[in-house]
Structure 1
Amino acid sequence: MNKTIAATAILVALGLSACSEGPKTVNTPVLSSAEQPTSAPVTQAQLQQFGDNLGVTYRVLTNRPDDNCDKAAAEGRCFVAEIDFVPGVELIGQDWAIYFSQMRPVQSVEGKEFSITHIKGDLYRIAPTEAFSGFSKGVKKTLRFRGELWQLSETDAMPNYYIVAGDLSPVVIASTQVKQDPETRMEVRPYVEPFTDMVKQYRRTDTDKLAPATATQLFSNNQNVSEDASLVANTIIPTPQKVTIHSHDKAVSLTSGIQLDVASVSSPSAEKPSFKTDQVAAALERLARLGVKESDQGLAVKLSWRQGAQGSYLLDIKPDGIKIAAGDAAGFSYALSSLASLIDVQDLRVNAMTIEDSPRYSFRGMHIDVARNFHSKAMIFALLDQMAAYKLNKLHLHMADDEGWRLEIDGLPELTDIGSKRCHDLEENTCLLPQLGSGPLPESSVNGFYSKQDYIEILQYADARQIQVIPSMDMPGHSRAAIKAMEARYRKLLAQGKPAEAKTYLLSDAADTTVYASVQYYNDNTLNVCMESTYRFVDKVIDEIAALHKTAGVPLTRYHIGADETAGAWKQSPECLAFVANNDKGVKSIEELGAYFIERIAHQLAQKGIEAAGWSDGMSHVRPENMPAKVQSNIWDVIAHKGHERAHKQLSQGWEVVLSNPEVLYFDFPYEADPKEHGYYWASRASNSRNVFSFMPDNLPANAEQWTDIEQRPFEADDRPKRDAAGQIISGPRPEGKTVSGLQGQLWSETIRSDATVEYMIFPRLLMLAERAWHHASWEVPYQYQGAVYHQGSGYFTPAMRKAQAQSWSQLANTLGHKELIKLDKAGIDYRVPTVGAQIRDGKLFANVAYPGLKIEYRAANGPWQAYQAGHAVTPPIEIRAIAADGERKGRSLLVH
């Protein structure tokens, strides 16, 4: 499930070390006692003053392993980092501690004045040792430590360090808070020292060939996309199946608006579905936002019924009127979306043409994680608007994980009273532990939940845009928020003398002594699948969610259970040992418990008329014969690591397979190979819109011909049949007649704190997700059902296909820059403005940008910004950046030497 650090172990074969059962102090020195400075106890005002004035700087020294790495952890991979503390006021004494989030486990500490203790997950405590000599005003103290794996991004350094002393209220250290750049609106971390040595700091190994996205590198990358505004006039995103241009007709003006004629679709019959104008209201609202409003003087737009696949439509645009024929509300909405895509907002004219269109896949989805860091209902509405605009139809709403529970459940108030917020309560009686840089305060913006009414409104808003919401509360792993909330409920009811009621929804076995570690370093985040109270809890939650769907008028028909397992859980649980010894469920060992849970919950859902969905890793453990007939599996395997094999196997089981491959469909990964870019990077350090566009989803292994792995090395994908020692097929080509159901983009929120950052990470990649989910490109390599081996020299992706792909990308890139991004601006979407490619030749500046049509500007030595023109004489170094399509927001600048 999240995949984040999680998949590091799977994908690069790392052996992660297990967490201890309790807090672990790293490398605390054993010292002889010495005379220590003494002082009066600090007051709340003094602690606040210290936190307000303590300067903190975080720097990564190297990501290259050396002989001092812990060889037992992560196969000897480690990094070295430092934290500088520069006090603005004095603090003498040892009755204090600083808490901070550290996404990679700390192995050891250098120096004698500080210790670091692991609390839980990514929460660590810095404390003074006996050798600590006090904080003196203006005197820097440096804490150097070694951690597992790598830290390759500035966003790895989580914000909101906080200091505690005795019983005083915790104080956030002001210098560690994130800021917003007023020109770019990007979240920045001023406490993080920029990377300067891209070999020691950004390359992980000697074999790492990744080229950082400098201005020079981007200039080379952008060279084969030239600016050509003529390409965009008749372009629609996503690309329709068939477009016929009526060149003999004059262009159609929409300056007077449109007049909707629904007379022929407003009378339902046995052959025709019912139609209401509000079913296309969202599409009409988008047209109005672009300047094309409904008006009695507008051009007639006549709707009529026609048979066809779900979402298909015919759009006929002529000077005397527009005709739309479709078989459902989605088809009518998509036709209006295509009309909106054709519009140039500068003149509101479109060419006369006929479009016949139908979707490539029935599942065209976007996943958003609101559990790790909460995101507002308004942001969800904005996302749904843009999903509808680009013909996406599934929202996978991930509302519960280790770090938060985000949906009000009737009868279980603890889930949101405790599970929806993180604060400094180490006993977790009022909230969860701080994680992911949330800080100590419950009112933090990363905390929160959707009320029942909020969720009903989300469902109705989505339904009005022909989008199905698929709710997800992850289980049995990634369930810490629920577990801790139900433990708090248990303690409360036990204290009230209600032991039976206290146990009703308990999710953990207090006598369980199993030592295990999840991939996010929790040792207590897995539901106990041997307790009947766990199944009562799941049943209760699903029933309450289904009731909300019913109230909204949108039945719950699919539920995503996550289906994550935690390796090693349950082994020493008395409940599970007894269950395995005495059960009549066919479970013969502890290792089969994960499969049993998934199978049982899937049938529990099926009995309620709800289809089960889950992530492919957990789903691969079940026995297919024990699962319901209709099952969805999200494939999150990395293609460079045999990611096609599980997809093909699960297709052969008759399951509905939705591709969610991380190196192309995880939008929480960086756009470019730059440590200043947001996101995790365990499967890719550069996944821009062109990469998403290039995806060949019907032939997963063929992507080996055009992509490299995380270290920019070529890889091979072998899709030939393979057998085990007994001669049984263990992997091979997908069966003829079996194809995937669709694609889903993912946004995990560990490093995504604000709604604006959500938009930055999703857009404009979402438009290319829509392109691939809707349109089957002619340049995609046909699937070889007999099996084949693919690599960069295998030749299935022919020069003609490559040329067609490049031409298609050039057209779409120009469409984004000249016509489409301005529509996101008008919708208030803070999409990523690309960094600019540039080089200086013979003292003259030459630049390009990923989306031709966007304006570029430059400046020298912090002087005034100037409009770019090719060949301007400059004196290096200079800064260069692009500007959003509306001319307001600026992109991040790069230096050109």
Structure 2
Amino acid sequence: MRLFKNPLNLIFAAALLLAACETPQELSMIPYPQFEKTTSKTVNLPATVTFSVNLPQPEMDDLLAYLPSYPLPMELSDKNPFVTIEVSEQTDTPSSAEGYKLEISKRGVNIKAKSATGAFYALQTLAQLARNGKKLPVTVIEDEPRFPYRGLHLDVSRHFFDKEHVKKQLDLVATYKINRLHWHLTDGAGWRLEIPGYPRLTEFAAWRKAANLQDWGKYDHHYCEKDEEGAYGGYYTEADVREVLEYARLRHITVIPEIEMPGHSDEVLAAYPQLSCTGEPYTSGEVCIGNEETFKFFEDVLNEVIRLFPSHYIHIGGDEASRRHWKACPKCQKRMKDEGLKDESELQSYMIARIEKYINSKGRDIIGWDEILDGGLAPNATVMSWRDTEGGISAAQMGHYAIMTPGSYCYLDHYQDDPETQPLAFGSYIPIGRTYSYDPAPDSLGTDITKYILGVQGNVWAEYIPTKEHAEYMIYPRIIALAEVGWTPQSKRQPESFKRRINNEIHHIKAKGYNPFMLSEQVKSNQTVDYAKKRIMLSLTSEKYPIDIRYTTDGSEPTASSKLYKKPFAVKDSILLTARLFDGKAPLGKSLRLRTDYHKAIGKQITYAKDGGYYQNKEVYKGGGDTGLLDGLRGGMSYMDGRWQGFCPNDLDATIDLGEVTSIHRVVANFMQVRTPQVFLPAKVEVWASVDGKNFTLLNTDICSEEEAGKDVIFRDFGWIGSPTQARYVRFHAIQGKKQFLFVDEIVIQ
């Protein structure tokens, strides 16, 4: 009570109160803006938002055509409008055509933009800020994208999605300022675009006897007639395409069509087998480059594509073509001789360059997957880098534009949670945090390279996506993370902030009638090894927010009264961690069970047998190299996280030197099986021990059961646990069963 007797104290208190009112607030919006200044003050939102805009009539008509889909009721009015939209190329802020300035004050909302696109994105921001339906934060936002290309790829060949589903996705991704749809219209599982003069593409090559791609194998992956009983498939008519294109245009999204060549063309060759090297259907997936009729076919197709699609870019595929048929084909070999091509990779490059020249003659440019770099890059091509980042970087170094879509970050058909709890998916584990962590153009590359990187794209391949609902489950929310990657400057991207915002966002998506993955209900862990202090620091986190993490270290199941995780803790020997999420007293999901060991082999010498070494042809599969299996770091749920060491086609056969004879009782290593990318458990594991390094005793043979071998996904420890045994040398031999990939994360010796 004494505080206010002194007038200076009163002034000081008032200043504190004013400062509190002006405390910056985190905006609940995605992607986060480049600049914002927000306080706790608010302005009431009218029941119907009146607005004025100075757009030319054609763009005004476009905006009015879109507004029925806009979440806020908007009414055009020149008399005291609540929202004023000013579009002028002369405005100083923003500098980008897609940028905008949005100012919310007690008087209402003012939007300034250089273009109708910038104004559209400002309206998307306004809609997110108005979600509570009552108040808007008083704020100033100045915003523009980091990259001009921010895309979603949708594969409609492996599973056909009708035009309504495509439009539904366009509607949602536009709200997050995604501006490209890469429409994968053709591939070996079905042709999806009506082409005049080639009726068999849609009467036959668009249909098969099984909706599920795996079940199609029962029919030898043969196509069927459109009207045949049990036929599954579909295609887009010209009217369908124009409807989707108009829907996208009103949402400022450019649709880029893809016509695959020269590989992934099984469906083309089934319908028109004369375009194959053998002249027979179902003999290859690659067209005959030595056949002039092949070029006539693709030119006819591209003429129709160019007539329908206004996009500057046409995607021509170019990926994963097997060249073995070209080696045996007289026509292809003659083409190579006539054109002075030294090998089949240059033959493929010849086709890409020739197709590019044709497309360039129509005023368009091509995009191709990064395999188009092989054999020489076509002169004006843009590279879509999917196998990793190297393809895009190489293209940029050559002065070509690149779009970054590496599978290890941007493939939305991969598992997003513990594979043992998820529907069957392809390949690796890419949680939303991994996707969000991607930087398509790090400063370390230098501006001479990054200026050629156009942006980023999330890819949805539909081999293991049998329904529309499942497609949405895989797309959302990871495409939203990529939307922020593509829009927001790297310096403004904060993982903890994004976690808070995405936890709010998924509920809005769900309420709109979409089927997003609602984020993992399992605790995530991370380890760092302190070799000097001989300990492992263990940290726990969650995709959910807000949430409690409770854990035990003795293997018992956590309860609402178990220890609450607050910060990383040290493991100096071994623990069996069990951790679970709790929403108050209610447990969520399944428990994380993780044995963590600072074991006897950490930092010791390992020697691989001549035919027992790790895979050398992909850096991420090296899993830490020669010290990787003894570094104390356990792998996560992805064989591509850099902690799993791969072996193919040979066994893992390694001997560890502990440095001195010591007592051991446990030698184990963890393996994974993920059948869709052909990663398998070993058939068996042998553990041997020796005192002198010459005479070894077999301690155990651990055999993979038939039941385990048949599982789609399984993680399993193989090895030996027994009575204490004296040993200095331990030989660990994991024996291949299928001559495919084995992945192991750590050999633990205790």
Q: Deviations over 1:551-583 (max 9, x none)?
A: xxxx242110001222323111122233334x2
Aligned partner of 1:509 among 269, 273, 277: 277
Other structure's SS at 1:416 match = helix
Amino acid corresponding to residue 355 of structure 2 in structure 1: I
Name the residue aligned to 2:83. Answer: 301
The answer to whether the Cα contact below 8 Å between 2:185 and 2:192 also exists between their aligned partners in 1 is yes
Other structure's SS at 2:272 match = helix
Amino acid corresponding to residue 696 of structure 1 in structure 2: D
Name the residue aligned to 1:562. Answer: 317
Aligned partner of 2:332 among 576, 584, 604: 576
Taking only the aligned residue pairs, the percentage that are identical comes to 27
Amino acid corresponding to residue 195 of structure 2 in structure 1: I
Counterparts of 1:445 and 1:318, CA distance in 2 = 59
1:886-897 alignment, distance < 5 Å: 893-894=589-590
Amino acid corresponding to residue 415 of structure 1 in structure 2: L
The answer to whether the Cα contact below 8 Å between 1:476 and 1:563 also exists between their aligned partners in 2 is yes
Name the residue aligned to 1:649. Answer: 394
Quote how far apart the aligned CAs of 1:421 are.
0.9
1:370-409 alignment, distance < 5 Å: 370-409=156-195
Quote how far apart the aligned CAs of 1:548 are.
2.3
Q: Deviations over 1:804-843 (max 9, x none)?
A: x6xx22222112223x22321232110001232369xxxx
Amino acid corresponding to residue 557 of structure 1 in structure 2: H
The answer to whether the Cα contact below 8 Å between 1:598 and 1:622 also exists between their aligned partners in 2 is no
Other structure's SS at 1:373 match = coil
Counterparts of 2:101 and 2:487, CA distance in 1 = 15
Counterparts of 1:333 and 1:763, CA distance in 2 = 22
Name the residue aligned to 1:811. Answer: 497
Name the residue aligned to 1:74. Answer: none
Quote how far apart the aligned CAs of 1:470 are.
0.6
Counterparts of 1:336 and 1:482, CA distance in 2 = 44
Aligned partner of 2:421 among 653, 676, 695: 676
Pairing 1:692–2:439 present: no
Counterparts of 1:572 and 1:896, CA distance in 2 = 53
Q: Deviations over 1:84-110 (max 9, x none)?
A: xxxxxxxxxxxxxxxxxxxxxxxxxxx
Pairing 1:535–2:295 present: yes
Quote how far apart the aligned CAs of 1:235 are.
3.2
Counterparts of 2:217 and 2:434, CA distance in 1 = 41
Counterparts of 1:681 and 1:459, CA distance in 2 = 30
Name the residue aligned to 2:104. Answer: 317
Other structure's SS at 2:153 match = strand
- Pair 387,869 (structure 1): closer, same or farther in 2 beyond 3 Å: farther
Name the residue aligned to 2:473. Answer: 760
Larger relative contact order (Cα-Cα within 8 Å, sequence gap ≥ 6): 1
Counterparts of 1:435 and 1:512, CA distance in 2 = 15
1:462-861 alignment, distance < 5 Å: 462-487=248-273, 506-510=274-278, 523-549=283-309, 555-564=310-319, 565-581=321-337, 583=338, 585-617=339-371, 619-624=372-377, 627-629=378-380, 631-638=381-388, 643=389, 645-678=390-423, 680-682=425-427, 684-685=428-429, 687-699=430-442, 735=448, 738-778=451-491, 808-818=494-504, 820-837=505-522, 850-852=543-545
Residue-pair matches, total:
524
Amino acid corresponding to residue 401 of structure 2 in structure 1: E
Quote how far apart the aligned CAs of 1:255 are.
4.4
Quote how far apart the aligned CAs of 1:325 are.
1.1
1:126-525 alignment, distance < 5 Å: 234-245=27-38, 250-262=41-53, 264-266=54-56, 275-279=59-63, 281-282=65-66, 285-288=69-72, 292-294=73-75, 300-307=82-89, 308-345=95-132, 347-423=133-209, 433=219, 435=221, 447-487=233-273, 506-510=274-278, 523-525=283-285
- Pair 767,445 (structure 1): closer, same or farther in 2 beyond 3 Å: farther
Quote how far apart the aligned CAs of 1:310 are.
1.9
Quote how far apart the aligned CAs of 1:295 are.
7.8
Counterparts of 1:769 and 1:878, CA distance in 2 = 29
Quote how far apart the aligned CAs of 1:673 are.
3.3
Name structure 2 gaps, 5 residues minimum.
Answer: 1-22, 90-94, 211-215, 525-539, 550-557, 564-577, 594-750
Counterparts of 1:340 and 1:242, CA distance in 2 = 18
Counterparts of 2:464 and 2:80, CA distance in 1 = 47
Name structure 1 gaps, 5 residues minimum.
Answer: 1-229, 268-273, 425-429, 488-505, 514-521, 550-554, 703-718, 720-732, 780-804, 840-846, 857-867, 884-890
Quote how far apart the aligned CAs of 1:688 are.
1.4
Q: Deviations over 1:43-83 (max 9, x none)?
A: xxxxxxxxxxxxxxxxxxxxxxxxxxxxxxxxxxxxxxxxx
Counterparts of 1:567 and 1:379, CA distance in 2 = 36
- Pair 356,734 (structure 1): closer, same or farther in 2 beyond 3 Å: closer
Counterparts of 2:486 and 2:200, CA distance in 1 = 40
Other structure's SS at 1:477 match = coil
Quote how far apart the aligned CAs of 1:650 are.
0.8
TM-score by length of 2: 0.63
Counterparts of 1:319 and 1:775, CA distance in 2 = 27
- Pair 374,237 (structure 1): closer, same or farther in 2 beyond 3 Å: same
Counterparts of 2:69 and 2:59, CA distance in 1 = 18
Q: Deviations over 1:219-270 (max 9, x none)?
A: xxxxxxxxxxx997523210111112255xx4122241311212x3347xxx
Amino acid corresponding to residue 99 of structure 2 in structure 1: S
The answer to whether the Cα contact below 8 Å between 1:234 and 1:342 also exists between their aligned partners in 2 is yes
- Pair 509,454 (structure 1): closer, same or farther in 2 beyond 3 Å: same
Counterparts of 2:108 and 2:179, CA distance in 1 = 29
The answer to whether the Cα contact below 8 Å between 1:878 and 1:895 also exists between their aligned partners in 2 is yes
Counterparts of 2:306 and 2:509, CA distance in 1 = 34
- Pair 511,750 (structure 1): closer, same or farther in 2 beyond 3 Å: closer
Other structure's SS at 1:287 match = coil
Other structure's SS at 2:268 match = helix
The answer to whether the Cα contact below 8 Å between 1:240 and 1:357 also exists between their aligned partners in 2 is yes
Amino acid corresponding to residue 496 of structure 2 in structure 1: S
Counterparts of 2:81 and 2:111, CA distance in 1 = 13
- Pair 412,293 (structure 1): closer, same or farther in 2 beyond 3 Å: same
Q: Deviations over 1:380-419 (max 9, x none)?
A: 1111111210001111000111111111112211101111
Other structure's SS at 1:569 match = helix
Amino acid corresponding to residue 473 of structure 1 in structure 2: I
Amino acid corresponding to residue 134 of structure 2 in structure 1: L
